[in-house]
Amino acid sequence: MSDVCLIVNTVSKNSDVWNVFFERIEKHFNNTFFNQKYVFVDDDLKKIPKDYKIIKYNKNEVYREQFVSCIREVKEKFCIYISEDYILYDNVDIEKILQFKTILNNNNLSFIKFSRGGVYDGPFEQFGKNLFHVPIGRDYFYTNQAALWKTSDLRMVHEKGPNLHIANEDWQNSFEFRATETCRNLGLRGLFCFYGENKRGLYHYDSSVFPHVATALVKGKWNMSEYPDEMGAIIKHYNINIMKRGWV
């Protein structure tokens, strides 16, 4: 039995994205890989596919409270944590993820991110071939990127982290920014993989391990500027009325 689960954190206001997101997971990710697939969500439960375990959170709470209330029900040792606007456009590399799981299992590491971040351009300390340490002394050591986590460490970051929403206009008072300090205090260490993929926009690189649009929504609008080909194909295939959300 697998000791890896999938965690999808979403919100019902984005339910129009769910059909595309879940269908692409089924198409590009071998569903037998996971012991369980979870969805953390506030409402519209009937729109979630039947093979996902739904854990409902209180929409009146801040992100950190919502996430803690849900992840405490997750029992698997490892998890892949993503959001509903991480839309796959090619097959996931299962073999590499299994290698990452072995590395996490045998080392004092909390996570391996599936792509390089673009906030800091290095230099990076190398861990092994195509694997590099995420610098703990830099901003955004913690980020909501597609990654393989030790579930207990991801839970601990949220249990000990600031009681904030994941993102704010005042970005320095968002969970994603402030949780890096929590990780430092906890002494966490993590890696990212990099196989020479291209950079997208200011903050993201492509991922050959988990090929996805990161992210498909920018402030609620379709991200056409950074992913014109991938998003164009998705919009066309699913006959999405792009005017409803607009695009950037």
Domains of the chain, first to last:
4-215 (3.90.550.10)
Burial group, residue 243, by CB count within 10 angstroms (0-12, 13-18, 19+): exposed
Distance of CA 193 to the CA centre of its chain: 15
pLDDT digits (tens, 9 = 90+) for 85-122: 999 999 999 999 999 999 999 999 999 999 999 888 88
Of 45, 85, 93, 42, the residue nearest 67 (C-alpha):
42
pLDDT digits (tens, 9 = 90+) for 40-79: 999 988 999 999 999 999 999 999 999 999 999 999 999 9
pLDDT digits (tens, 9 = 90+) for 160-210: 999 999 877 777 889 999 999 999 999 999 999 999 999 998 888 999 999
